[in-house]
């Protein structure tokens, strides 16, 4: 943008068309150079100091202070254990949203439950009338996903479940530290599952809380922690993200070395338990959270995590209002946003263009569970085609967020869907 202003005074008598083309070329070149210096990772990186020096003990926030907690390597394992402990293996019906990641659905199915999908609209909310009639039709449990930190109408849903004797399970994989009117998400349901590593720079980690009738076997479940290599590999990656986010060029080189080391380990068939990937393997459901993740959990000021995420969300909202297609949702009080969703015409193209500029945008849930896809609504299909998630985590600086806004606004690929 500054280039346009500087050039304007000095421009020779070139035709306006030629000048516009020249400006566009120059702007593109500058953006490419600038992107070499800027890297905006999807997830918060890990400050290496924290591995060696635990910070002062922080006041824990729900769910980290919930009385009945069970930890695991990833959230899908806890979902699997929960539904197994609830004895859903006899084909009990569980209501699940048609807009989902896929791993949570696979874990519930692997536990033996029969799934029924309910619709999610473009505002990311269910149709309460449909939920009510499904609850009345003999379902045993209802799973609610709070998308990207946005609370569902959870009081109404909880009342509906109580009225019909249906268990309420909150999937808070994407909504750690989010609240609805002053009360934390995950405290409304009978049970709630959180993914810790999506909000905090942990190598892995997930948490299940039980709020009402406590299932003893689940409360006492102690899963053996994962092996050293699984922790070391992911921790190294997070530390490299932290370095690259600040010093892109050396960080990039270190990343290349880390990838080469990973390839060597794979060639030697050294197995590491994956984190964040797609799929559910019951053989991995017995893996627990490491001591390192537990220790790191005490290191952050969680209110500050929420404050910074909200600040970045507001920054993008201000820059995008009226210029970028957004979901019909606002930043609600107490919400801890996981990402900033935008609607783009061609998600793959937009993501590639942003990656080329150092911005690790996430193609949010391109593909759901095959059974839901077959019977899914057009609303879920629209969200899968067009929602692109921009990072706004606590480790970003305002200048990284500003850089991201500039890139999105300048890219043709980020235009709104028709």
Ligand X SMILES: Cc1ncc(COP(=O)(O)O)c(C=O)c1O
Q: If binding is defined by CB under 6 A, does position 169 make contact with ligand X?
A: no
- CB nearer to ligand X: pick between 71 and 302: 71
- CB nearer to ligand X: pick between 138 and 276: 276
Please give the size of the binding site for ligand X, defined by CB under 6 A: 13
**Residue of 361, 310, 303 whose CA lies nearest to 331:** 310
Q: Which stretch binds ligand X (CB under 6 A): 38-46, 74-82, 127-135, 310-318?
A: 74-82
Structure tokens at 228: 């050293």
Q: Which stretch binds ligand X (CB under 6 A): 28-36, 166-174, 219-227, 249-257?
A: 166-174
Minimal distance in Å, beta carbon 34 to ligand X? 32
Minimal distance in Å, beta carbon 58 to ligand X? 22
- CB nearer to ligand X: pick between 241 and 389: 389
Let me know if 91 is exposed, middle or buried by CB neighbors in 10 A (0-12, 13-18, 19+). exposed
Interaxial angle between packed helices 248-267 and 16-37, expressed in degrees from 0 to 180 and rounded to the nearest 10:
60
Binding mask 196-235 for ligand X (x = CB under 6 A): ----------x-----------------------------
Minimal distance in Å, beta carbon 360 to ligand X? 17
- CB nearer to ligand X: pick between 105 and 343: 105
Q: Which stretch binds ligand X (CB under 6 A): 17-25, 167-175, 262-270, 346-354?
A: 167-175
- Select the residue interacting with ligand X from 38, 46, 74, 392 (CB under 6 A): 74
Q: If binding is defined by CB under 6 A, does position 101 make contact with ligand X?
A: yes
| Pairing assessment for the beta strands 179-180 and 206-210 based on DSSP bridges | unpaired
Q: If binding is defined by CB under 6 A, does position 152 make contact with ligand X?
A: no
- CB nearer to ligand X: pick between 206 and 361: 206
Minimal distance in Å, beta carbon 85 to ligand X? 17
**Residue of 205, 84, 95 whose CA lies nearest to 152:** 95
- Select the residue interacting with ligand X from 22, 276, 291, 333 (CB under 6 A): 276
Q: Which stretch binds ligand X (CB under 6 A): 97-105, 184-192, 296-304, 403-411?
A: 97-105
**Whole-angstrom distance, CA of residue 246 vs CA of residue 274:** 26
- Select the residue interacting with ligand X from 40, 75, 134, 344 (CB under 6 A): 75
- Select the residue interacting with ligand X from 43, 76, 144, 327 (CB under 6 A): 76
- CB nearer to ligand X: pick between 176 and 324: 176
Minimal distance in Å, beta carbon 249 to ligand X? 31
- Select the residue interacting with ligand X from 108, 120, 131, 145 (CB under 6 A): 145
- CB nearer to ligand X: pick between 76 and 393: 76
Q: Which stretch binds ligand X (CB under 6 A): 5-13, 71-79, 238-246, 312-320?
A: 71-79
How far from 126 is each of 113, 151, 167, CA to CA, in Å? 21, 12, 17
- Select the residue interacting with ligand X from 82, 173, 273, 335 (CB under 6 A): 173
Per-residue burial over 157-186, b if 16 or more Cβ lie within 10 Å, else e, is bbebbeebebbbbbbbbbbbbbbbeeebbb
- Select the residue interacting with ligand X from 98, 104, 179, 369 (CB under 6 A): 104
- Select the residue interacting with ligand X from 103, 230, 243, 293 (CB under 6 A): 103
Minimal distance in Å, beta carbon 174 to ligand X? 6
Residues binding ligand X (CB under 6 A): 74-76, 101, 103-104, 145, 171, 173-174, 195, 206, 276
């Amino acid at each position: 943008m500054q280039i346009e202003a500087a050039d304007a005074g000095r421009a020779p008598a070139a035709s306006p068309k030629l000048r516009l083309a020249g400006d566009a070329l120059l702007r593109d070149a500058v953006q490419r150079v600038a992107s070499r210096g800027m890297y905006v990772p999807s997830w918060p990186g890990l400050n290496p100091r924290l591995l060696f020096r635990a910070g002062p003990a922080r006041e824990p926030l729900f769910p980290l202070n919930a009385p009945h907690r069970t930890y695991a390597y990833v959230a899908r394992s806890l979902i699997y254990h929960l539904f197994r402990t609830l004895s859903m293996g006899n084909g009990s019906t569980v209501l699940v949203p048609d807009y989902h990641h896929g791993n949570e659905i696979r874990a519930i199915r692997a536990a033996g439950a029969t799934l029924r999908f309910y619709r999610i609209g473009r505002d990311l909310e269910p149709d309460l009338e449909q939920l009510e009639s499904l609850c009345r039709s003999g379902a045993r449990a209802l799973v609610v996903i709070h998308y990207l930190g946005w609370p569902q109408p959870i009081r109404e849903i909880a009342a509906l479940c109580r009225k019909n004797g249906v268990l309420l399970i909150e999937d808070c994989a994407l909504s750690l530290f989010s609240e609805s009117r002053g009360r934390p998400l995950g405290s409304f349901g009978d049970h709630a599952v959180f993914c810790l590593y999506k909000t905090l720079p942990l190598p892995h980690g997930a948490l299940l809380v039980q709020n009402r009738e406590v299932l003893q076997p689940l409360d006492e479940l102690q899963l053996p922690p994962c092996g050293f290599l699984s922790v070391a590999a992911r921790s190294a990656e997070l530390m490299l993200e932290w370095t690259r986010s600040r010093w892109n060029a050396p960080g990039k080189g270190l990343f290349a070395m880390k990838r080469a080391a990973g390839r060597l380990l794979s060639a030697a068939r050294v197995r590491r338990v994956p984190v964040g990937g797609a799929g559910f393997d019951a053989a991995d459901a017995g893996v627990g959270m490491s001591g390192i993740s537990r220790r790191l959990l005490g290191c952050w000021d969680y209110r500050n995590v929420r404050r910074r995420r909200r600040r970045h969300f507001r920054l993008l909202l201000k820059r995008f209002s009226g210029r970028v297609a957004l979901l019909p949702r606002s930043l609600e009080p107490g919400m801890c946003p996981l990402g900033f969703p935008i609607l783009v015409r061609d998600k793959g193209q937009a993501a590639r263009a942003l990656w080329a500029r150092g911005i690790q945008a996430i193609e949010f849930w391109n593909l759901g569970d095959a059974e839901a896809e077959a019977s899914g609504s057009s609303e879920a299909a629209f969200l899968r085609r067009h929602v692109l998630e921009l990072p706004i985590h606590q480790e970003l600086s305002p200048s990284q967020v500003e850089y991201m806004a500039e890139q999105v606004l300048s890219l043709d690929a980020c235009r709104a869907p028709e």
